[in-house]
Structure 1
Amino acid sequence: MTNPIQLPVLFLSDVVVLPGMVVRVELDEPARAAIDAAQLAARESGDPAQVLVAPRLEDHYASYGVVATVEKVGRFSGGAPAAVLKAGGRARIGSGVTGPGAALWVEVDEVDTGTVTDEVRALADEYKSLVVGLLQRREAWQVADTVTRIDDPAILADTAGYAPWLSDDRKRQLLETPDVAERLRLVVEWTRDHVAESEVSDKIDSEVRESLEKSQREFLLRQQLAAIRKELGEGDPEGGDDYRSRIEAADVPDAVREALLREVDKLERSSDQSPEAGWIRTWLDTVLDLPWSVRTEDDNDVAAARSVLDADHHGLDEVKDRITEYLAVRARRAERGLEVVGGRGSGAVVLLAGPPGVGKTSLGESVARALGRKFVRVALGGVRDEAEVRGHRRTYVGALPGRIVRAIKEAGSMNPVVLLDEVDKVGSDYRGDPAAALLEVLDPAQNHTFRDHYLELDLDLSDVLFIATANDIGSIPAALLDRMELVSIDGYTEEDKVAIARDFLVPRQLERAALTADEVTISDDALREIAANYTREAGVRQVERLLAKAFRKATAQLAAGSATRVDIDVASLVDLIGRPRFTPDVAERTSVPGVATGLAVTGMGGDVLYVETSVATGEPGLTVTGQLGDVMKESARIALSWVRSHADELGIPASAFERSIHVHFPAGAVPKDGPSAGVTMVTALVSLLTGRPVRSDIAMTGEVTLSGRVLPIGGVKQKLLAAQRAGVAEVFIPERNRPDLDDVPAEILEQLTVTPVGAVTEILERALVQAAAGAEGVAGEGGVAAA
């Protein structure tokens, strides 16, 4: 027996620690006091921090414990304080003593475990064989190898502290048994009993499995399970009876009910261990969760619906008119007693096409609120798997219904407003074409019997109001585009942006910045300056970002105490959001011959497109640059052919075409394609070869033919909005696009002179200015005479 030592006591009630064990313990207040006292004593003595770990008993104090070293103090993953203890030898607890800290200190004597005799080694070998055999039967190979390598009988006996089949009372008995031979006798006896019980249990299970056929065993287990649940007063949440009762109570179509009952029959015949049972339950839950007979009642008050749309969005009259017309038709059919819910072709499919930031997505929410319907958004951007629309076959692992079915389930009604966002960004690959799968969804003549691959049931989508959004309708397949009613949202004028910012964006950003209208104000002139010179976009997204930036700066000023109120005007914009990013440059770009201003439409809206031309000594030919598509390259060749064929009329000598002609579209990093730059290239080439500059206040759009006719183009409204933003005074458009002017806001037509032309010569007559006196054309030695 060694000399007594003094240690703080750490009592544990949930675990019995034997020598050699490493345990993690949660530190309550007494345990924390014991750990702190041990660490304090260790710092004073220079020895490792040690505590006496003893079991907590209800009626008396334990007489034995283990001397444990504090390996680490920290926290569990949940944040509770914890410590890692490594148990050493046994110790007999003596009388209490005083020590540092708030812990209970005692005097302990480490006890001798006895000598190792042949009897002890025989007991150790027997216990080891019992434990290793038990672990191998449970396939705990790594633990079995660890036990095999233990040679010390005392350490081997104390490994019983990890045995889950031993109770805490038995482990406490081992702790209080210092003699190794006696401990080995106890664990050998207990382990034999456990092995015998395990063998009997395994033998019974084996005999039952061999005596019962598969169907009989399943029947018996089901009956036993039902009896146990009945005794416990619990229902059968996954059984066929429960599904039958749910099907009987569900209000579903007859065809759906028959399909559900067929699947319930399969479920009752299948085993609970069969994967098919899980698939059937998932399918049944999905079908039963669908709102087959739930429909929200539409608010047919046309005036109230229009007021909701007007309150949420500025402008967009065409969209608002379309929704108002839809409501008016439904209200009239309701008044006359006609069917207004369901039925073939009663749904509507609207495509909102326009650049980003014009309010397409938020408009869908406003439409749902105006109709009194549920709203669901389905994001289609980047979807390349047809199963995302039609669903997966149930034979696949992890099969799910398509996004349309999930949207109906999420909405909780059969007539929601479903927003198909970014329908133009749907792709296709080896997994199918989602755009083709949308054909059935968006066809009012077919979607009353839409069939999802997962459900394999007819789903009526005819009363769903589908609203699709897109930036570029050119990337939408023609067959899909044909099934939707196109409503273009081409962008906002400068005055529209000011009104939207004043009525919608400023209040929203003030709220987000925790400001009030009494603390920060912004003038209409400042809003107009932001819309005109700080942004060049069709929508108002960048305007809102700049307003948010300005209000954040204002909040910082108020927080610093440098001001009690911030009034934002044009002069203060530079300090808040920087200098203007955009300035008119049409006059500068077209100041030399050979440069013309065109108009184009991109996914971001209308934009100004410059065409620059030059000639150089070299092999005759045409070079076209600017990352152009095949259509624009053909337009360039057509333009040069027309200019060459009319060279005499234009006063251009034949020698002008014996040099290398280069046509360039600046911003080469931006892809460009489309049939609308032909007249611009003709004008630029004629300007170059005649030495006559193009007027700086005009822009043009249109495709030219070899005969000089100007063909119609698309996106007239967006192009005129871009011309107005760029400060252009006159725009030439094809004669056949004259009807498109009806869709252009009146304020734009007041600011622009729009001239429809039928032939490219009409543009040349008005677009080219007279060459300066003594100026020479770039084509000939003596210049080209002005036409």
Structure 2
Amino acid sequence: MAQDNRLPVMPLTQAVVLPRMSATIPLESEDAQAAVRAALADQGLILLLPKIDGRYATVGLVAKVEEKGNLPDGTEVVAVQGRHRAVLGNVSHEIGGTLVADVSPSPDPVTWSDRARDLAHEYRAIVENILELRGASQIAQVLRGIENPGHLADMSGYSPDHSLERKVEILETLDVEERLTKLIGWNKEILGELTLKQQLRDDVSERMEKGQREYILRAQLEAIKKQLGEGATDVVGDYRSRAEEKHMPEAARKEFDRELDRLERMSEQSPEYGWIRNFLDWMLDIPWSTRTEDNFDLKKAREILDNEHSGLDDVKDRIIEFLAVRKRRQEKGLAPEGGRGSGAIITLVGPPGVGKTSLGESVAHALGRKFTRISLGGIHDEAEIRGHRRTYVGALPGRIVRALKEAGTKNPVIMLDEIDKVGADWRGDPSSALLEVLDPAQNHTFRDHYLEVDLDLSDVLFIPTANVADTIPSPLLDRMELIRLDGYTEEEKLDIARQHLLPRQVERNGLDANEVSVSDKALQRIISDYTREAGVRSLERELGKLFRKVATKLDAGSLTPPATVDEAVVREALGKPHFQFEEILERTAVPGVATGLAVTGAGGDVLFIEATSMTGESKPGLTLTGQLGDVMKESAQIALSYVRSHSRELGLPERFSDRQVHIHVPAGAVPKDGPSAGVTMTTALVSLLSDRPVRSTVGMTGEVTLQGRVLPIGGVKQKVLAAKRAGLKEVILPKRNEPDLDDLPAELREEIAIHLASDVREVLDWALEPASEAPKVALA
């Protein structure tokens, strides 16, 4: 049991606590923990005794244990409140390991002398000066409210300027006047050091200001020397002379001169100096008035286009028309075409591999213009088109301005590749930024964010390319002149292979025409059995594979030049055929399977639709599988409703409403959507319910209504080409698509029989096999 003059001792090795101070002390030793337990068991009083360099202080602090707890990391701590000094007496150990000591309390006097007041006033003034130099004037306000000299002196326990040894000395100094005298001496030293550091900072700042003044004066001196012709290279004068040669428009020249005047007044050390020079360099790199003369020899231009690309007559005709108009304007002495509404945007839409990208270079070659290409696939940042504003670090103009700089003329051919794959996110919508670029009514005043001057793009021939037009935003599509490249027939592919693909692959594989030749039958076998695409990209890959194997055999000696590649060599080199025509015959041999035609991003393709029905425990209704979109699901529902409502007219069993009908479109991993499978679904259902198989040589496409009307669809040429590639002999199209037949090549119309239907019953008459005398299935 602790008494008033006998208290448990807590040794302190890392801190010193003075009267009236609050402190939180970690209990890291057994002695400290035992002392706290003993204090809490009695009145909560404890003696905090500093231990510095292995020596206990002669005076400790009587403190009250306020609270005991744990930190988040698990460390046990105790909160204490200092009360008064106590002189240390005898120290001993009690049972339980508690260290206890006899103490003699020594609190500060209640009254104080005039000298103590004067010392306190002096000490307070010194401390306030220190705090002012350190920018802690709020703490000085706290000190002004302390009147007790002893309390004021003990506040030094919070100061970071005093070492532990000095704080122990303050604790051991019982006389208030002596305590203040020591603190005044120590704090005068601290104040002197701080004052000296402040003077040094002021001197450095003054020298920096002086250096800046000298820099400004030297810059002015250099400017004066330049005016007198005594300076170094005249950067501003060089910019002015180069600008004279560029013949900029008035607005652009005004902005150029404004920035040049800023550069002239600015120091070379300024960060903006480099930014302004970059802007001026870009303004000078833009071909404001430089242009190439168009090739007005229409015959030669057509020859160039024909030599570099087979087919694609629509595109070639449009380019020749473009040249013919410009030629007539020049012959009649009209002003050069330019300005509002004079731009040309020719958009090529078609599946991969039909030659859209390479056609751009041929167009530039035929026109005699420079060519540059901008790949838009996957870009999300609007600044890629319009550029960044000059306020951003590392800002640059957009891709349109950079393409003009690369071309070096104001009338190049700029190909905007993969415009249907432009994305949009939080950085902006590049397709919206392209609205101004691709609008002939606006692009004569195109404004890049970096340049912030009007740029005339009306002389540029833009050729955007896309695989499908559906993903191009409608406002952008409205500004384009679309030319569709729907793919090639087998005869056209054979011609392309002979003229372009074979010579290129022979050269790329280290061969020449004297070492290897390919028969027409071998080429036809590759086209029909190993590729089934709208373009010729896969065909070129297969030819490359073929010639690699031929080159290997020539080096190994198993073939001797000149080697002829026939069908047997093709089969050996390329392996088994990738496509077989018998597939459609096998799949449509049973009722309920119809062959439809569809358009994908890779061109036209055949689409099988399977239908079946079930009775028994199955719930009546319609089940759809094959990852179908909403529009295609609605087409299936319409087809089923039509068949049920016209079952008597179609000669179908009347009671099939209690059956579950299941429609499946194979290739279930591929999303499918669109209304053009309506007639195919209707045919598959009627085939199933009437037990009449669909003819294996027939493919069909068209949207169907609840009244059985067949509505028009898109992509006619691509679908008919897909039917030809798949080996179909007949195609059923909507009657209202009859004008689209003009787009089909003559040889294709001869090989494929086209049926035009306005009612779904006409489709059924052409598509289904004749009914047998006795039906095989009776649905009752």
Q: Common fold, TM-score beyond 0.5? A: yes
Match of 2:505 in 1: 509
Correspondence for 1:437: 433
Counterpart position of 1:569: 566
| 8 Å Cα contact 2:222-2:231 kept in structure 1 | no
Residues 573 and 579, structure 1, Cα contact 8 Å, conserved in 2: no
Where in structure 2 are the equivalents of 1:117-136 lying within 5 Å? none
| CA-to-aligned-CA distance 1:297-349 (integer Å, 9 cap, x gap) | 00111111000000000011111111111111111111111123422222211
Aligned pair partner of 1:365 in 357, 361, 364: 361
Q: Is the 8 A contact 1:490 1:718 kept in 2?
A: yes
**Distance 1:219-1:291 versus aligned 2 partners, 3 A rule:** farther
Matches within 5 A, 1:373-384: 373-384=369-380
Greater Cα shift, 269-278 or 518-527:
269-278
CA shift at 1:495, angstroms?
Answer: 0.6
Q: Distance in 2 between matches of 1:712 and 1:328?
A: 36
Following the alignment from structure 1 to structure 2, what is the Cα–Cα distance between the partners of residues 222 and 613? 90
Q: Which residue of 1 aligns with 2:605?
A: 607
1:411 is aligned to 407
8 Å CA contact 2:219–2:267 kept in 1: the answer is: no
The alpha-carbon distance between structure 1 residues 213 and 541, as it changes in their structure 2 partners (threshold 3 A), is closer
Which letter maps to 2:569? S
Aligned residues: 576
SS of 2:568's equivalent?
coil
Q: Mean Cα displacement is larger for which, 716-725 or 396-405?
A: 396-405
Identify the residue that residue 675 of structure 2 maps to in structure 1: 675
Instruction: Say if 1:294 and 1:412, in contact at 8 Å, map to a contact too.
Output: yes
Q: How does 1:190-589 map to 2 (within 5 A)?
A: 209-211=208-210, 214=213, 217-221=215-219, 223=221, 235=233, 239-565=235-561, 566-584=563-581, 585-589=583-587
Cα 1:296/1:219, change in 2 over 3 Å: farther
**Structure 1's 287 and 593: CA in aligned 2 closer, same or farther, altered over 3 A?**
same
Quick check: 1:229–1:235 contact (8 Å CA) kept in 2? no
Whole-Å separation in 1 of the counterparts to 2:557 and 2:231? 68
Q: AA paired with 2:449?
A: H
| Aligned-pair CA distance for 1:548 | 0.7
Shift of 1:223: 3.9
Q: 1:413 to 1:659 in 2, by over 3 A?
A: same
Cα contact 2:414–2:460 (8 A) shared by 1: yes
Contact 1:418–1:467 (8 Å) recurs in 2: yes
**Paired letter, 1:780:** L
Q: Does 1:621 align with 2:618?
A: no
Amino acid at match of 2:642: W
**Offset at residue 222 of structure 1 (A):** 6.2
Structure 1 residues 249 and 752, CA gap change in structure 2 (3 angstroms): closer
Q: Secondary structure at the match of 1:718?
A: helix
Specify the SS of the correspondent of 1:761. Answer: helix
Establish whether residue 727 from structure 1 lines up as the match of residue 727 from structure 2: yes
For residues 216 and 597 of structure 2, the distance between their equivalents in structure 1, rounded to whole angstroms, comes to: 76
**Contact 2:711–2:736 (CA under 8 A) maintained in structure 1:** yes
CA distance in 1: counterparts of 2:629 and 2:590, whole angstroms:
27
| Secondary structure at the counterpart of residue 648 of structure 1 | coil
Offset at residue 230 of structure 1 (A): 12
TM-score scaled to structure 1, two decimals?
0.71
1:780 equivalent in alignment to 2:779: yes
CA displacement 1:642-693 (0-9 Å, x = unmatched): 1111012123334312111111110111111112110000000111111111
In structure 2, the residue matched to 1:34 is none
**Cα distance, 1:399 vs structure 2:** 1.5
State the alpha-carbon separation in 2 of the partners of residues 520 and 231 from structure 1. 73
The 3 A distance-change label for structure 1 pair 245 and 731 is same
Question: Do the aligned partners of 1:693 and 1:771 also contact (CA within 8 Å) in 2?
Answer: no
Give the secondary structure class of the aligned counterpart of 2:731: strand
Q: Identify which range, 556-565 or 399-408, moves more after superposition.
A: 556-565
Partner of 1:743: 743
Distance 1:390 1:224, change over 3 A: closer
State the Cα distance separating 1:695 from its structure 2 match. Answer: 0.8
1:220 partner amino acid: R
Q: Who is 2:48 aligned against?
A: none
SS of residue in 1 equivalent to 2:257: helix
| 1:493-524, Cα deviation, whole Å (9 max, x unpaired) | 00111110011100011111111111011001
The Cα shift of 1:228 comes to 12
Letter in 1 for 2:321: E
Q: Distance in 2 between matches of 1:518 and 1:588?
A: 44
Shift in CA distance, 230/383, structure 1 to aligned 2, threshold 3 Å: farther
Deviations 1:49-106, CA, capped at 9 Å, x for gaps: xxxxxxxxxxxxxxxxxxxxxxxxxxxxxxxxxxxxxxxxxxxxxxxxxxxxxxxxxx
Structure 1's unaligned 5+ residue stretches are 1-201, 782-787
Aligned-CA RMSD value: 2.3
The residue that corresponds to 2:181 in the other structure is none
Residues in 2 aligned to 1:540 and 1:387: alpha-carbon distance in whole angstroms: 35
SS in 2 for 1:597: strand
- Distance in 2, matches of 1:203 and 1:652, equals 105
Please identify, of 368-377 and 637-646, the stretch whose mean Cα deviation from structure 2 is larger.
637-646
The answer as to whether partners of 1:631 and 1:674 remain within 8 angstroms in 2 is: yes
Match of 2:712 in 1: 712
The structural deviation recorded for 1:245 is 3.4
Matched with 1:663 is 663
Change (3 A) 1:244 1:696: same
